[in-house]
Structure 1
Amino acid sequence: MTEGSHSDVQPARQGRNWFTAGWIAMGRGLTMFFLGLLAVFLAWFAIVGMSLTLLGFGLFLVPGLVAALRWSANAQRRLTGKTGVRIAEPYAPAPRTEGGWKGAWRKCEAIFTDSATWRDMLWAQCAVTVTGLFAIIPFASLVHGLFGMLLPFIWEPVVQAWDGTWYMFVPVRSQDSAWIAGGLGLLEIPVGLLIAPYVLRLHARITHSLLAPTAKARMGRRVEHLARTRTDVVDSSAAEIRRIERDLHDGAQARLLAMGMKLGAAESLLDENPEAVRTLLAETRDASVRALEELRDLVRGIHPPVLADRGLVDAVRSLALESRLQVQVTANLPARPEPAVESAAYFAVCELLANATKHSGARRVLVDIQYRANALAVSVTDDGHGGAGLESGSGLQGVQRRLAAFDGTLGISSPVGGPTTVSLQIPCALTVMP
């Protein structure tokens, strides 16, 4: 899923009763308040560091101080996401810089020109005022309710300490009024638990308006994503053309050249040595069979006929039949995706099955193909020893680059000891092919 492709606001998890949900929301609100309090100090430290850039040595302080502020903002984004309001990170990628003064200046320049830096500053100033008050209201209601419940037992010293004590709308002057305050306090606690999720959701929406990427930032990241994926597609296409040229040159072309030479030799020996001609013709026939097989393999590597004729599910099932592993394919695909999406998913499954065969030590593989939420979802699970990751080789990185051209995503779950599950998501529409 790409940033901005779906709404940032998602429904919160259902199923909890109001009591449990209230306590969870109250705890999150209190955590958000103290996190915002920390962000205030971090923001002021960052501002001091920025002011010291005029003296030079602030250039080396700003990146670390802003990184700490961004850590607190990201922690707030994660907490807000648990309420159902998703907030994406808006930061521009850090530039590649060298060390020394020049590198420090380039880092600070990237920080100063990133609008997300100043939005974090604005959020930090609101974190214990506007948004912070919303976050702490349910907890304050709990504390105030407990105080009201204690008033029937401590009202006299309280009244002596604070002349004219009121609890909500009740003036506490006697034991009877203290009991009324206690009853109100007893009611205030469940009210606080009831409103906590709703107050926290309101807090989350305000936080979203402060910390979410702006439309300009979204567009900039989208343009950057498209430029990067375009470059990857161009590089991948060039590499594929070079591979086809190499396979043709080293394979079928070399065999056809050898066949021509053998036919020439057979022609020169036709009258003198018929037996040698027969042998040469047999070798030429074998070479033609091998050349034909290589051409068929090459065609399959470009776009398999079974994929074009019968679709993704049957093409993956043909891979399963050819694999040395026990591959089970389950699918629920009511129609066919676009040919380009089918091709990307097919070759991704090819690469994943090849990885499972070569590196995982697996015996069984489950391939599941579904269409849900306007996206083609493919998962490949093997019972191997695990430990797979994008950093472990170029195969998975190549799959990721291939999917990125379609705004697709690649997810990997591969704990040591297995199992390994690789999930693909490619946004697409289904079409009924003739």
Structure 2
Amino acid sequence: MTMETRNGSWSSRVRDTGLAAVRGFALALVSLPGAVLGLTLSLVSISLVPIGIGAFTTPWVLRGVRAFADWRRVVAAEWCGVRIPSAYRPIPGDANTWARTYAMLRDPATWRDLRWLQVDMTAGFVTALLPAVLVFYPLEGLAVAAGLWRPLSELGGYWYGFVHVTDQSSALLAGALGIALLALASLAPRLLTVHFRLTRAVLGAGQGELAERVRILTETRRDAVDTSAAELRRIERDLHDGAQARLVAMGMDLGTIEMLLDKDPAQAKRLLAQARQSSVDALAELRDLVRGIHPPVLAERGLGDAVRALALRMPVPTEVSVDLPRRADAPVESAAYFAVSEALTNAVKHSGADRIWIDLHHVREGTGMLRVTVTDNGRGGAVVAAGSGLAGVERRLGTFDGVLAVSSPAGGPTMVTMEIPCA
């Protein structure tokens, strides 16, 4: 090993040690207040469920806890390569406030999160802080030996470990102890990994929950395959009954025109006009078919402009509010677009509404969750039933691990909310 290689390896270890100390310290600063606040709000909110108040607050609080836990999963993977599986159950699409609350409370992952908060504010806090202590405490001993003991001695002395620092000689002894402790600083990255492994032991999903998660994903994949097959059959049928039939008829007209061109020019001219109109109609049908597969405006301008264009074609006045600082992946945008299209179709056909509002935004910047809300002022009573358009939307969103929620009391208004993970 060359001197340059040894120096590079040494500097790399020093950098990793310092980085682990800083990360552990930052994690300790965040984990303790975050865990205390999350656990306190959760317990208070759940205790208020029997009197009704908790039914409205619990879903919001538990979503915050889940976001905090998911952030820790991301940090564990990025900082130490520790993968922590997640297996939250999807909330039923037709869930009202009470059903949503009880669905989250019946999810084993919710109670696992609450147990993790208790561990995170105790053993988790200690294991996060240890890497910083192993690095910064020896440096404190060196600072004491370098002269920090003087202002400390004016306060009656200072204990560094088992050394009572009152003068320069005791300060040098503290510095020697700091150098000895500095040898343990190299353990800082390993201790940070221990913290995340402890987190995984408490927060990670068990085999049973992962199996349930696989079952749900298998069902949504099967729905996606069935939907794709049905979509292909629809495209084939539309081509056969529409554009293909017109093109065949146009070919027959052109053959007739060829025979009549010398015998009956006037009739040939009429058939040419008819063939021209057939070509225009065939082109229009092909454009509609392409728009039904993947609208060009969606590919070129993004989800916001595509939904605005969709709203302009509605027979009911439709307002669109868009706050999307970035584009999602093409499959996510396509799923959201057609989900909005189906929700608008349902509103126009069944609600009797005279006004519709659409809102598209990210739930919180950086969470990768797209939320779409379609609201109408119609008669209400919309439900997610088998064979309904909303059931089809729910299946479409389930392919992306998304959820659908419908609030539609008798007399209206109806609010259809869709959330789709963008990752």
TM-score with structure 2 setting the length: 0.55
2:164 corresponds to 1:167:
no
Q: Using the TM superposition, give the Cα deviation of residue 122 of structure 1 relative to its aligned residue in structure 2, in angstroms.
A: 1.2
2:39 corresponds to 1:29:
no
Q: Distance in 2 between matches of 1:118 and 1:357?
A: 42
Show CA shifts across 1:259-302 (max 9, x none): 679989999x9xxx99579x99xx9xxx9xx99xx9xxx9xx9x
Q: Distance in 2 between matches of 1:172 and 1:357?
A: 71
Q: Using the TM superposition, give the Cα deviation of residue 150 of structure 1 relative to its aligned residue in structure 2, in angstroms.
A: 4.9
2:111 corresponds to 1:111:
no
1:30-49 equivalences in 2 (<5 Å)? 30-38=25-33, 39-49=35-45
Q: Distance in 1 between matches of 2:100 and 2:65?
A: 15
Show CA shifts across 1:226-281 (max 9, x none): 222222221221121121122122344455567679989999x9xxx99579x99x
Structure 1 residues 241, 97: closer, same or farther in 2, change over 3 A? Answer: closer
Structure 1 residues 388, 59: closer, same or farther in 2, change over 3 A? Answer: closer
Q: Using the TM superposition, give the Cα deviation of residue 195 of structure 1 relative to its aligned residue in structure 2, in angstroms.
A: 1.8
2:121 corresponds to 1:128:
yes
Q: Distance in 2 between matches of 1:356 and 1:108?
A: 36
Q: Distance in 2 between matches of 1:252 and 1:79?
A: 55
Structure 1 residues 41, 185: closer, same or farther in 2, change over 3 A? Answer: same
| Structure 1 vs Structure 2 CA RMSD | 5.2
2:236 corresponds to 1:241:
no
Number of corresponding residues: 302
| Structure 2 gaps, min length 5 | 1-8, 303-324, 339-392, 402-422
Q: Distance in 2 between matches of 1:159 and 1:262?
A: 107
1:60-139 equivalences in 2 (<5 Å)? 60-83=56-79, 84-96=81-93, 103-139=96-132
2:163 corresponds to 1:180:
no
| Aligned AA (2:39) | A
2:48 corresponds to 1:52:
yes
Structure 1 residues 154, 276: closer, same or farther in 2, change over 3 A? Answer: same
Tell me the residue number matched to 1:199: 191
Show CA shifts across 1:129-153 (max 9, x none): 2222111112222343244335553
| Aligned residues with identical type, % of pairs | 22
Show CA shifts across 1:94-151 (max 9, x none): 33356xxxx3311210121111111111111111322221111122223432443355
Q: Distance in 2 between matches of 1:70 and 1:110?
A: 14
Show CA shifts across 1:174-206 (max 9, x none): 8645422211213434632x2221111121122
Structure 1 residues 266, 190: closer, same or farther in 2, change over 3 A? Answer: same
Q: Using the TM superposition, give the Cα deviation of residue 42 of structure 1 relative to its aligned residue in structure 2, in angstroms.
A: 1.6
Give yes or no for contact 2:164–2:170 (8 Å, CA) kept in 1. Answer: yes
| Aligned AA (1:41) | L
TM-score with structure 1 setting the length: 0.54
Greater shift after overlay, 254-263 or 25-34?
254-263
| Structure 1 gaps, min length 5 | 1-13, 302-349, 361-385, 410-424, 426-434
Tell me the residue number matched to 1:422: none
1:218-257 equivalences in 2 (<5 Å)? 218-256=210-248
| Aligned AA (1:238) | A
Q: Distance in 2 between matches of 1:159 and 1:264?
A: 112
Give yes or no for contact 1:32–1:76 (8 Å, CA) kept in 2. Answer: no
Give yes or no for contact 1:46–1:66 (8 Å, CA) kept in 2. Answer: yes
| Aligned AA (1:115) | P
Q: Using the TM superposition, give the Cα deviation of residue 207 of structure 1 relative to its aligned residue in structure 2, in angstroms.
A: 1.2
Q: Using the TM superposition, give the Cα deviation of residue 89 of structure 1 relative to its aligned residue in structure 2, in angstroms.
A: 3.6
Structure 1 residues 396, 146: closer, same or farther in 2, change over 3 A? Answer: same
Structure 1 residues 239, 15: closer, same or farther in 2, change over 3 A? Answer: farther
2:5 corresponds to 1:19:
no
Give yes or no for contact 2:150–2:167 (8 Å, CA) kept in 1. Answer: no
Q: Using the TM superposition, give the Cα deviation of residue 86 of structure 1 relative to its aligned residue in structure 2, in angstroms.
A: 2.8
Give yes or no for contact 2:88–2:109 (8 Å, CA) kept in 1. Answer: yes
| Aligned AA (1:80) | A
Show CA shifts across 1:32-72 (max 9, x none): 22222121232122112211212222222212222222232
Give yes or no for contact 2:142–2:179 (8 Å, CA) kept in 1. Answer: yes
| Aligned AA (2:242) | D
Q: Distance in 1 between matches of 2:106 and 2:223?
A: 25
Provide the secondary structure at the position in 1 that maps to 2:48: helix
Structure 1 residues 200, 260: closer, same or farther in 2, change over 3 A? Answer: same
Q: Distance in 2 between matches of 1:218 and 1:148?
A: 48
Show CA shifts across 1:323-371 (max 9, x none): xxxxxxxxxxxxxxxxxxxxxxxxxxx979x7899669xxxxxxxxxxx
Give yes or no for contact 2:47–2:54 (8 Å, CA) kept in 1. Answer: yes
Q: Distance in 2 between matches of 1:263 and 1:176?
A: 112
